[in-house]
Structure 1
Amino acid sequence: MAGNESGARLPRMENPAGLATPGGHYSHVAIANGLVFVSGQLPIDAQGRKLTDASFEEQARQVLANLEAALNGAGSSIAQLVQVRVYLADIEHWPGFNRIYADWAGEARPARAIVPVGPLHYGFKIEVEATALA
């Protein structure tokens, strides 16, 4: 990690290839003290196309693909996930997400929270953030 003028260590911020440019004042990934923190990933493809009108399943697959791209770009992986937080606009999507997630995660079983939140930005149905080992 980089230092600053006082010698304090600072986290490393990254926006890995394969992800759209962040739409706000944040980085997709922050790496600090051996951990990778992935910002909330929305169903936006690498070219910046928002999948607002896509099915829940398509949105969920895109979000997980974004999460994997962020992890890989930071030198981490699905197997190194520690915790995953899933925000759903409608809890009715939980069973469908759980099936897609289980296929995506394979043998990895990080701690996980599913949080029903009501409407998400742009009308998206899902957002996922995570913490992994670097």
Structure 2
Amino acid sequence: MQSDIRFLRAGHYPGLTDQVDYAYAAVVTAPRTVFTAGACPLDAEGATVAPGDYAGQARQVMRNLEAALAGAGASLSDVVKTTVFVVSPRQGDLVAAWDVVREAFGGHDAPSTLLGVAALGYTDQLVEVEAVAVVR
């Protein structure tokens, strides 16, 4: 059975602005769904990489997310939703992390939520990304 994934993009729905660079929603009918825990900026030894560097941590997070998805038989192109957590009240810090996440996905435009939060679970951790993927 093939999965059916359709992204609802900006500009196609009454009342929703077309001035955003993301899909508003994803509609999925699929045989298998993968839910990831939040990918953290940890190296293979469990140390937090790039303390104080939003973009550096986001790069490690995306490497770890790709590895977790691969372990579940999925890839970034199977992701239908992400949530990006960034420890900061400043929009510029959120954007620094988001730019790395967005680049990792390339032309794959899954809906995402970007949040500034007070703290995350590991010492010096600034970025975390969780994802839902549908394996086609």
Q: TM-score, normalised by structure 2?
A: 0.68
C-alpha RMSD of the superposition: 1.6
Alignment correspondent of 1:17? none
**1:62 maps to which of 56, 60, 63:** 60
- The correspondence of residues 72-111 of structure 1 with structure 2, limited to 5 A, is 72-90=70-88, 91-111=91-111
Alpha-carbon separation, structure 2, partners of 1:34 and 1:93: 34
Identical positions, percent: 31
> Judging changes above 3 Å, is the alpha-carbon distance between structure 1 residues 59 and 66 closer, same or farther for their aligned structure 2 residues?
same
Query: Unaligned stretches of 5+ in structure 2?
Result: 1-30
Which deviates more, 106-115 or 96-105?
96-105
Aligned pair count reads 102
Alignment correspondent of 2:13? none
> Structure 1 residue 36 and structure 2 residue 34: aligned?
yes
> Judging changes above 3 Å, is the alpha-carbon distance between structure 1 residues 75 and 42 closer, same or farther for their aligned structure 2 residues?
same
- 1:33-84 CA deviation, whole Å, 9 max, x = no partner? 6100110111101222222625211111000110011111111111110100
> Judging changes above 3 Å, is the alpha-carbon distance between structure 1 residues 58 and 81 closer, same or farther for their aligned structure 2 residues?
same
Q: TM-score, normalised by structure 1?
A: 0.69
Query: Unaligned stretches of 5+ in structure 1?
Result: 1-32
Contact 2:52–2:126 under 8 Å retained in 1: no
1:92 Cα deviation after fit: 3.0
What amino acid maps onto 1:65 in structure 2? R
| Secondary structure class of the residue paired with 1:41 | coil
